[in-house]
Structures are given as C-alpha cells and as structure tokens.
Structure 1
Amino acid sequence: MNELSVTKPYQRRRRFSREFKAQIVAQCLEPGASVSRISLDNGLNANMVRRWISEAQRADKTSATPGFVPVNLPAAPSAPSNQSVSDKRSTIRIEIPRAGGAVVVEWPAEQAHQCAALLRDLLG
C-alpha cells in the first residue's frame, strides 16, 4: 500500500486593523464599486468584506442615535388671577417626530419624577 497524503501547512488567521477595514468598506460603498473586485484586488474573501460592510452600517446606526432629544416646551400662558393653582391641571407633553408620524407622550406634571424615570429607561 503506497499512499501519499499532502497537507497544507497551518495558516494563521489574519487580523486586520480597524483602519484597514474602514478603508476597504469605504471603497466598497462608492457608487459602482464591486465588492468582489475590491476583495480580490486586496486578497480578501468577499463574504468577509460583506460582513465588514454590515458591521460598519450597524455601528453607524447605533452611533447616530442621540442619547437625548431636545424637547421644545411651549411658553406657559399666564393664569388668570381668579383661578387657583390647585384647579389648574398641567401636563408634561413630549413629542418625538418619526418617519411614520410623531410619538406623543402626555404626563401629569405632578408626577414629573416618574416621567423622568420613563425617559431614562427609554433613552438608556
């Protein structure tokens, strides 16, 4: 029995710097660019480069989300002198514009601390 087996030498996994990945992703995102061609030109696997593009786009979406959104509060109208403060019901109104329509939250002003806790939870 004469058998000859040929094995490839172990190749270490290559590590790429963030700058290099960003450069490749930027080239791929240019209009008319071919991910396959750019990958081949740089000796990279096209699937790996596509994963880099997905990760970069996901990172851009999360970093573009602001932690706090400015809230425009309308000027408080002056209360008539014959109306007592206890009769006046004031509310906190928060309006967040979205693509499909605005999200509006109205909260009793007496429970402002609970409204603040809700906002902290929502905005993380």
Structure 2
Amino acid sequence: MTESSVLEVPRKRRRFTAAFKARIVEACQQPGASVAGVALEHSLNANLVHNWIRTTRQQTAVPEIPAFVPVPMTRELSPATPQHQVADPIRLTIPHPNGPMVIEWPASEADACRSLIRELLA
C-alpha cells in the first residue's frame, strides 16, 4: 500500500489598501451594480464587501443636529420691572457646530423675543 500525504500550506490573510476598498465600495454604489456581482468580479467575499460599505457609511456619517437645543439665558426678566428703566439686553447663546451663535435682543422687546424663540422651536 502506498500512502501519500498532502501538506497544506496555511493561507495568509489578504490585506487590502484603503484605496482598493474605496474603489470596491464606489463600484457597488453605481446604478445597477450588485454587491455580490462586484465581489465576484474581484474574487472577494460579499460579506466582506458589505462590511466595507458599512464602515464607509459610519466614517462619513454626519451627526444629526438635535431638534431641540436648550437655550441658556443670562438673566431672567421679572414682570415687576418698570418699563421706563433701561434694562440690559436679552442675550441668547445658541450652540452650533460652527461655533456658538449669540443673539442680543432689547429687553423692552421681550415679547417679540419670546415669539421668535417659539417660532424657531416649532
């Protein structure tokens, strides 16, 4: 009897450059392209390509801007303040991704300021 033995060489894990991954993801996003088809063309596993697509979406995702942002008030106006006194302006600081927005409003026009805030938050 003759026995033959086959030695299997362990497969090395393939490494792909970021540019190659970007080309594959872009090819998958073309109209009419399927992820499985693109993967087969490049001898890749479709699940691996799906993983690259998910990773790309997560890296390029823009965080959502919250619908409601608390507005810190510098001071509270009391209704007992007489109208003839000159009061400090109402100062609103609104956080924004490009930097805080500061709005100064005359204290005598507090009702109009309140209406503006209601419209902005509606």
Question: Which runs of no fewer than 5 residues in structure 1 stay unpaired?
Answer: 81-93, 103-124
Other-structure match for 2:25 = 25
Other-structure match for 1:91 = none
Q: Letter of the aligned partner of 1:68 in structure 2?
A: P
Structure 1: 4+ residue segments shifted above 6 A: none
Other-structure match for 2:106 = 77
5 Å-filtered alignment, 1:30-109, equals 30-61=30-61, 64-65=62-63, 68-77=97-106
Deviation at 1:38, TM superposition (A): 0.6
Q: Letter of the aligned partner of 1:75 in structure 2?
A: E
- TM-score normalised by the chain length of structure 2: 0.53
Once residues 56 and 49 of structure 1 are traced to their aligned partners in structure 2, the CA distance between those partners, rounded to angstroms, is 11
Once residues 27 and 40 of structure 1 are traced to their aligned partners in structure 2, the CA distance between those partners, rounded to angstroms, is 12
Question: 1:79-118 CA distances to partner (integer Å, 9 max, x unpaired)?
Answer: 59xxxxxxxxxxxxx9xx8xxxx5xxxxxxxxxxxxxxxx
Once residues 35 and 7 of structure 2 are traced to their aligned partners in structure 1, the CA distance between those partners, rounded to angstroms, is 31
Other-structure match for 1:15 = 15
- TM-score normalised by the chain length of structure 1: 0.52
Question: Which runs of no fewer than 5 residues in structure 2 stay unpaired?
Answer: 66-95, 110-116
RMSD: 3.8
Q: Which structure's CA Rg is the greater one?
A: 2
The alignment covers a number of residue pairs equal to 86
